Structure 1
């Protein structure tokens, strides 16, 4: 087995790092083992071993009238209760996650 002497450096948001490492700790997997296995999967598949895609949200055509009305009522109640966010904040949040 070859010696592991190469380093990988990546910048991530602190809260993302903390949450991911907590899960890895529960699983008993060191971060270095996870990165090594990811690199090996990239080599074996000649691709990224998972897909990057936007989750499909149901469209109005895919919902029954009752399901659509329930969804709209729920969102209206959230808006009335002040549980939403203004448009600028919503776009800022989307931009941060990209």
Structure 2
């Protein structure tokens, strides 16, 4: 099978991080892209689900609580250590 060269544009940080990952897995970026393309042909589509983030209600509530705490830190207790927080919870 003959090979052809293909150019793609990537964010530099994405390329570097991907090269490091695939190197740890024993392959180069070209091999990883080839695997992706072969799997795409095998499944006749993108070989993983592509969707927008869809958080469940519990995650949405936790995120909203985080944003509230970040916006109004004066409303919440602060501890100088984890031990102090545990002692407060345990009433010690």
Structure 2 equivalent of residue 8 of structure 1: 6
Gaps of at least 5 residues in structure 2 are 74-92
CA gap 1:77/1:10 in 2 versus in 1, 3 angstroms: same
Q: Is 2:68 the partner of 1:76?
A: yes
SS at match of 2:50: coil
CA gap 1:71/1:54 in 2 versus in 1, 3 angstroms: closer
Higher RCO structure (Cα 8 Å, ≥6 apart): 2
Distance, in Å, in 2 between the alignment partners of 1:53 and 1:19 is 22
TM-score by length of 2: 0.63
Q: Which runs of 4+ in 1 moved over 6 A?
A: none
TM-score by length of 1: 0.60
Q: Which has the larger radius of gyration?
A: 2
CA gap 1:10/1:75 in 2 versus in 1, 3 angstroms: same
